[in-house]
Structure 1
């Protein structure tokens, strides 16, 4: 057992099945136990079909488990209404995907502000200043009013990272975030995750097929056939994993 401080996300006996009650019912996740701590910088890996996408949907409160419980900041979520789950997700989770999903008609700062606009309506000047500060942090201070079509792929991904952090989330979930980037740009994006993990007290979980990326994380969680088969802490890391 390792003590890694405050728990951000905790799964207890999490199961997910599809086609419930039908002849073709299938269970994809088989009793997952997992703990993500406040300072964790972890990778989730596993072969195609292992259940990573399903687990990510559970972690991101995008879908509800069939059985078991998921606690986000010690709040049980399995029986929350869709509205409650959406509100909690918007306040405490940030998402970065392989495809940046920026709104082409919006400028960089408007894209970053989108999560706050969805929750609060028209952003305040304080919100805008915060968004500009984040764009500065990712090296895009001179691109605040530029639209995605005038940005490189790496710059667009950095806008997406700033957008994911604008709500000051407790946990950043990244799904193949460097999958469409060249090696140098991917390294830069990875270093941004690392920096924000340390400076913003934001736990990071990266879903990746890239062994180079996963080996650079402090912790590697391996999922096979809907079960966690290993949860390894990198030697010399100051962050410890939870109990599985």
Structure 2
């Protein structure tokens, strides 16, 4: 794989809390791995293994104590907060277990939200893209409906469309099917697959569900703050 395809790279990444205190604790102990655009990967590990901490650092929501995280080739540890926020907004899409839609807004307004926050009123191109994404997630007919009128599975699909509106290089999904029934969960999973293949967007799913991780192409297993296994499916 060429470096051109590399979306994210972690080098000797460590994270500690309560630094300098008697109860100082290191949660991540020198993590190294890279994610490429064609990757469809699962991050797994028991509770307390450091998955959430790592996910927050991967998403540039938190900073490592030491080591470096490169996003699209740019080192981020010395960046100003605003630079980091801009890079995150352009390059990473997030989907969480709880979809965090704004219930009083319409579906299309929710999808456009990241662009509206960055650029104000959406232009025609943005509107067209939002409609294309709603079509891709099978919700075209609900564009003008309030988010509060949708089922949980539908709301999660809106959240995926919202995560993709900025055309990110990386989609981070934290337990994205955690509170969906199995039928809806597999539909959402298929949607991630399409995003990965058609939009050249790397997908990293954080999941407790071994069935979900088994269907990914790559599994990164975190145990006690260290990468215990990083395997590609043959």
TM-score w.r.t. structure 1 length? Answer: 0.94
1:120 and 1:50 mapped to 2: Cα distance? 38
- 1-side partners of 2:211 and 2:183: how far apart? 13
- State the partner residue of 2:130: 131
Residue-by-residue CA offset, 1:91-112 (whole Å, 9 max, x unaligned): 0000000000000111000000
In the alignment, is the contact (CA less than 8 A) between 2:30 and 2:226 conserved in 1? yes
1:239 corresponds to which residue? none
Equivalent residue number for residue 59 of structure 1: 58
1:166-203: CA deviation from partner (whole Å, max 9, x where unpaired) = 00000000000000000000000000000110000000
The CA RMSD measured in Å over matched residues stands at 0.8
Q: CA offset at residue 4 of structure 1? A: 6.1
User: Paired residue for 1:194?
Assistant: 193
Classify the secondary structure of the residue corresponding to 1:178: coil
- Residue 159 of structure 1 aligns to a residue in which SS? helix
Evaluate the alpha carbon distance shift between residue 48 and residue 218 of structure 1 in structure 2; reply closer, same or farther with a 3 A threshold.
Answer: same
- Which stretch has the larger CA shift, 65-74 or 121-130? 121-130
1:147 aligns with 2:110: no
Determine the structure 2 residue equivalent to 1:107. Answer: 106
> Structure 2: how far apart are the matches of 1:211 and 1:78?
33
In the alignment, what sits opposite 1:204?
A: 203
CA spacing shift, 1:189–1:110, aligned 2, 3 Å: same
- Say whether 1:98 aligns with 2:97: yes
CA contact (8 A) 2:104 2:148 kept: no
Alignment match, 2:41: 42
Which runs of 5 or more structure 2 residues have no equivalent in the other structure?
A: none
Structure 1 unaligned blocks of 5 or more? 236-244
Q: How many residues align?
A: 233
> 2: CA distance between counterparts of 1:194 and 1:104?
27
Deviation at 1:148, TM superposition (A): 1.5
